[in-house]
Every structure is written in C-alpha cells, then in structure tokens.
Amino acid sequence: MSPTIVDLLAATKTVIGKGRRSVLQGSARLDFRLKSGLDGRFHAFVRVNERLSEHFSIGLRYEADFGHLRVNGDHGAHRNPDGLLITTGPHVHMFRAPARDQAPKDGAEPKWAWPLPPDTVALNVAWRTFRDLASVTSTGDADRKVAAMYAASAQLPFDDL
C-alpha cells in the first residue's frame, strides 16, 4: 500500500548533502535532497525573488515534480477552491482531507491555502515553519545557506553569494 500524504508529511526527513544553488530570471533557488525511512525520494526547494524578499516559496516534493506542502511569502491574494480569499500575507499550501488521507496522485498540487503569522514573511522564519510542518531536520549548513539567501535578497545580486 502506498503512503498517504499524511504519512509523507509526518515521516522524519533529514537534509543531506550541500544542496544545489541556482539563479534564474531574478530568483535564487536552493534544492536539497532529503533522507527518510520511507521508500522513494524527497526533495526540498527554497526560492526567493532577487528584488522582493517577501516573494518566496519553500516546498516539499516526493518522487515527481508535484508538491505536498508549500510555504509562501506575501505575493498577493490567493483564492481557495471554495472561494475564500486570502488577501495578503504569508500562507501555507497543503492538501485538505480527504486528499490528505490518500496516496498522492500524479500531478496533484495542494490548492488550499491557510494564512500564517505575519513574521513568516521573513524567509528564515518561513524555513523553520516549513521544517516543522514537513518534519524536516536541517543541517547547520542548510540553515546558513537559507539565512544567506534571505540576507542577500533585495541587497546584493545572488551571484555574489
């Protein structure tokens, strides 16, 4: 039986390796491999806009390129499938029951968003929130890279990191 999305989120995961950094179209990106006791491959990504540090996304992927959890900064309004509008501020995208209790489907993305506390608009705070929600244990190296990415956003070209 395949693990459910709840199982995938709850499984303890650890950042392994140094991560891969890239810059594309004004955004910096860090990609980390994660180790878990579950079969399959987990990945985490962090991306932030070079000029607007509150425009970021931190996500968890399992196997394919669809996400199970995403913590976003303040990048504008978001409308949930039921019509509820989140007008501003950081938010988290997660699957909602009953989808959370099923095995993930190819191409599925979490369409539901819930507001986060206003201080989550800082990338380093959002990284800690993501780690808690996704059961990810980070390394000091990964934490330092995210902190450097946050400090550099809207201040230096990412190529200088």
Tell me how far apart the alpha carbons of residues 49 and 125 are, in angstroms, rounded to a whole number: 16
Angle of helix 140-152 relative to helix 123-134, nearest 10 degrees, comes to 140
Question: What does the pLDDT read at residue 14?
Answer: 95
Residues 25, 14: Cα–Cα separation, whole Å: 29
- The pLDDT tens digits for 78-123 are 889 899 998 888 999 888 877 888 887 777 778 888 899 988 888 8
pLDDT digits (tens, 9 = 90+) for 45-84: 999 988 888 889 999 988 755 567 889 988 888 889 899 9
Average pLDDT score over residue span 144-161: 69
Confidence label for 160 from pLDDT (cuts 50, 70 and 90):
very low
Whole-model pTM?
0.83
Of 7, 16, 15, 10, nearest to 137 by C-alpha is 15
Domain ranges across the chain:
5-154
Residue 156 pLDDT level (bands cut at 50, 70, 90): very low
Predicted pLDDT of residue 148: 86
How many whole angstroms separate alpha carbon 48 and alpha carbon 34? 20
Tokens for 39?
């079969």
Residue with tokens 């934490």: 143
- Cα dihedral 42, 43, 44, 48 in deg (nearest 10): -160
- Taking residues 37-51, what's their average pLDDT? 89
Question: Quick one: average pLDDT of 19-38?
Answer: 91
Does 35 have pLDDT greater than 90?
yes
Q: What is the pLDDT of residue 57?
A: 92
